[in-house]
């Protein structure tokens, strides 16, 4: 049975381990924040580009206020994330400054000890030579011990010198890092000032438009309610298709048609399993775009007392944008509803993806599609120039948040 470490050594080891874990966690958090900040910056850039493309078009007040509200929320998030980054850097700067102070004290003490050792060594050499020190031994054993002592003393001097060199290099490295951290923090603060000005300008435009809208709020509230009814009608039609597919799969498998879950073939099970394995890594259904309406229940930007229920996401993209399959699957249906642009439904085992508001369809029912395959073109509204793809993911009848499935959404 091996020897157990003394308690005090275990405490020291545990402290070192916890410090290491803490430093690793802090570093990971900073990387996450930087990744998120860059994502938000790219999103703002896309919003600005899309707005510039449609500048000549006359947008409805409802569309404009939604666009303003979305950009304001992204700018607000960018400021928060950048502030978090600056706070982390401040913490690291303070930590490094403490380390520098401690290292300077250690270095000072080491240099004093080393100087004292050199002086003693010099005096010792003046008083009697090493050879005389050895020859004055009473016997061979004593001479050998004195020789070992002289070697140890020389090695100790060498170690002290190396430790001073290492501490000096560590101090220089910390000072260099400190300068970089301060520069990085100043850069983030400067960026945040610019973002803050942009946010204030967007809020001013938003408020001016809201003042106009408030004069006839009932008109816009009616428009929002009409949109909600239209969305509910489309969702009901989609649910009918899924229910029919579930009933058909159970009938083929000899199960009760009333079952709410799919009876999958081995191939469909494998496809569904692969779909799940790629959760969070699926490509966007368009090459370039920003999410202008997120998943879930949320207050209307026009009338906060109204709730918008979104079963998926709305992605604003560029004119002529191609819709892409986010994963391998089979085209189950091309749904055409009165006064609604075509909706393409792709099945991935017991998972489904829906692509709404298409102007052209490049595939037909029953076609096998592959990841990133072009399946259609997104409709561009000729009046306001908006190109918006509605995108939904579901497991059977249960709608899922696309942001959990699509990479960096």
Interval 58-96: pLDDT, tens:
677 878 888 888 899 999 999 999 999 999 889 888 888
User: What pLDDT score was predicted for residue 321?
Assistant: 97
- Same domain, yes or no, for 92 and 134? yes
Interval 291-340: pLDDT, tens:
989 999 999 888 888 889 999 999 999 999 999 999 999 999 999 998 89
User: What pLDDT score was predicted for residue 130?
Assistant: 57
- Same domain, yes or no, for 193 and 298? no
- Same domain, yes or no, for 35 and 124? yes
- C-alpha to C-alpha distance for 212 and 241, rounded to whole angstroms: 42
Q: Which of 187, 214, 241 is the last residue of a domain?
A: 214
Q: Which of 214, 235, 267 is the last residue of a domain?
A: 214
User: What pLDDT score was predicted for residue 74?
Assistant: 92
- C-alpha to C-alpha distance for 163 and 160, rounded to whole angstroms: 5
- Same domain, yes or no, for 210 and 244? no
Name the domain count of the chain: 2
- Same domain, yes or no, for 207 and 237? no
Examine the pLDDT at 131 and tell me if it is beyond 80: no
- Is residue 409, in this structure, part of any structural domain at all? no
Q: Which of 214, 245, 266 is the last residue of a domain?
A: 214
User: What pLDDT score was predicted for residue 9?
Assistant: 53
User: What pLDDT score was predicted for residue 167?
Assistant: 78
User: What pLDDT score was predicted for residue 103?
Assistant: 79
Residue pair 61/213 in contact by the 8 Å Cβ criterion: yes
Interval 203-216: pLDDT, tens:
999 999 999 888 88
Examine the pLDDT at 401 and tell me if it is beyond 50: yes
Q: For tokens 């998120």, what's the residue?
A: 36
User: What pLDDT score was predicted for residue 399?
Assistant: 96
- Same domain, yes or no, for 174 and 63? yes
**What token pair was written down for 152?**
């140890």
Question: Which has more confidence, 38 or 151?
Answer: 38
Cα distances (angstroms) measured from residue 314 to each of 231, 250, 284, 308, 354: 12, 33, 12, 12, 12
- Is residue 356, in this structure, part of any structural domain at all? yes
- Is residue 2, in this structure, part of any structural domain at all? no
- Is residue 1, in this structure, part of any structural domain at all? no
Rg (CA), the chain: 35
Torsion over CA: 254, 257, 260, 265 (sign)? positive
Percent of the chain at pLDDT > 70 equals 82
Q: Which residues, listed in sequence order, are joined to residue 390 by a DSSP beta bridge?
A: 314, 356
DSSP conformation class of 406: B
- Same domain, yes or no, for 59 and 148? yes
Examine the pLDDT at 15 and tell me if it is beyond 80: no
Of 5-19, 51-65, 260-274, 345-359, the poorest mean pLDDT is in 5-19
- Is residue 274, in this structure, part of any structural domain at all? yes
Please report the DSSP string for 44-95 in residue order.
Answer: HHHHHHHHHHTTTS---HHHHHHHHHHHHHHHHHHHHHHHHHHHHHHHHHHH
- Same domain, yes or no, for 81 and 179? yes
Residue pair 254/265 in contact by the 8 Å Cβ criterion: no
- Same domain, yes or no, for 323 and 223? yes
Interval 253-291: pLDDT, tens:
888 766 778 999 999 999 999 999 999 999 999 999 999
- C-alpha to C-alpha distance for 408 and 115, rounded to whole angstroms: 59
- Same domain, yes or no, for 186 and 284? no
User: What pLDDT score was predicted for residue 1?
Assistant: 45
Examine the pLDDT at 193 and tell me if it is beyond 90: yes
In 3-state terms, the chain is what percent helix, strand and coil (to 5)?
Answer: 60, 15, 25
**111 torsion bin: left (phi>0), alpha (psi -120 to 50), beta (else):** alpha
User: What pLDDT score was predicted for residue 126?
Assistant: 45
Cα distances (angstroms) measured from residue 36 to each of 87, 183, 199, 241, 308: 15, 20, 18, 38, 26
CA-closest candidate to residue 47, choices 244, 315, 366, 350? 315
Domain that holds residue 177: 7-214
- Same domain, yes or no, for 171 and 313? no
The half-sphere exposure of 115 on its side-chain side, counting CA atoms within 13 A, is 6
**378 torsion bin: left (phi>0), alpha (psi -120 to 50), beta (else):** beta
DSSP conformation class of 380: B
CATH number at residue 323: 2.70.70.10
User: What pLDDT score was predicted for residue 70?
Assistant: 87
User: What pLDDT score was predicted for residue 127?
Assistant: 44
Mean pLDDT, rounded, of the chain: 85
CA-closest candidate to residue 324, choices 389, 283, 388, 374? 374
Examine the pLDDT at 134 and tell me if it is beyond 80: no
Cα distances (angstroms) measured from residue 259 to each of 53, 333, 399: 49, 21, 18
- Same domain, yes or no, for 157 and 227? no
Question: Which has more confidence, 238 or 116?
Answer: 238
User: What pLDDT score was predicted for residue 91?
Assistant: 87
User: What pLDDT score was predicted for residue 46?
Assistant: 85
CA-closest candidate to residue 118, choices 83, 153, 67, 87? 153
**What token pair was written down for 235?**
């969702």
**What token pair was written down for 127?**
């008083």
Q: Which residues, listed in sequence order, are joined to residue 360 by a DSSP beta bridge?
A: 377
Out of 42-51, 226-235, 358-367, the most confident range is: 358-367
Of 303-312, 340-349, 372-381, the poorest mean pLDDT is in 303-312
């Amino acid at each position: 049975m091996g020897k157990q470490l003394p308690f005090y050594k275990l405490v020291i080891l545990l402290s070192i381990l916890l410090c290491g874990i803490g430093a690793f966690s802090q570093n990971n958090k900073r990387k996450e924040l930087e990744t998120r900040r860059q994502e938000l910056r790219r999103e703002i850039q896309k919003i600005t580009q899309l707005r510039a493309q449609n500048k000549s078009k006359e947008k409805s007040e409802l569309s404009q206020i939604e666009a303003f509200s979305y950009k304001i929320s992204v700018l607000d998030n960018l400021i928060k994330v950048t502030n978090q980054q600056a706070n982390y850097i401040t913490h690291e700067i303070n930590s490094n400054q403490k380390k520098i102070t401690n290292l300077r004290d250690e270095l000072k003490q080491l240099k004093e000890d080393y100087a004292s050792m050199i002086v003693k060594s010099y005096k010792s050499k003046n008083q009697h030579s090493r050879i005389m020190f050895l020859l004055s031994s009473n016997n061979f054993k004593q001479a050998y011990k004195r020789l070992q002592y002289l070697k140890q003393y020389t090695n100790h001097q060498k170690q002290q010198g190396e430790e001073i060199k290492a501490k000096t290099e560590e101090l220089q490295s910390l000072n260099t890092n400190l300068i970089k951290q301060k520069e990085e923090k100043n850069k983030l603060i400067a960026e945040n000032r610019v973002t803050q000005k942009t946010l204030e300008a967007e809020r001013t435009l938003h408020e001016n438009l809201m003042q106009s809208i408030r004069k006839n709020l009932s008109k816009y509230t009616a428009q929002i309610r009409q949109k909600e009814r239209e969305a509910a009608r489309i969702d009901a039609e989609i649910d009918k298709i899924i229910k029919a597919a579930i009933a058909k799969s159970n009938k083929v498998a000899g199960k009760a048609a009333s079952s709410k879950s799919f009876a999958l073939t081995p191939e469909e099970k494998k496809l569904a399993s692969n779909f799940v394995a790629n959760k969070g890594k699926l490509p966007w259904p368009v090459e370039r775009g920003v999410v202008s309406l997120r998943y879930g229940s949320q207050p209307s930007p026009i009338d906060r007392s109204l709730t918008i229920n979104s079963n998926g996401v709305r992605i604003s993209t560029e004119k002529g944008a191609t819709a892409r399959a986010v994963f391998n699957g089979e085209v189950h249906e091309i749904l055409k509803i009165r006064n609604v642009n075509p909706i393409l439904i792709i099945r991935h085992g017991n998972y489904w993806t829906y692509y709404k508001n298409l102007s052209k369809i490049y595939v037909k029912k029953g076609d096998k599609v592959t990841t990133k395959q072009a399946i259609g073109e997104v409709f561009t509204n000729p009046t306001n120039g908006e190109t918006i793809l509605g995108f939904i993911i579901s497991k059977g009848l249960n709608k899922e948040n696309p942001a959990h499935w699509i990479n960096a959404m």
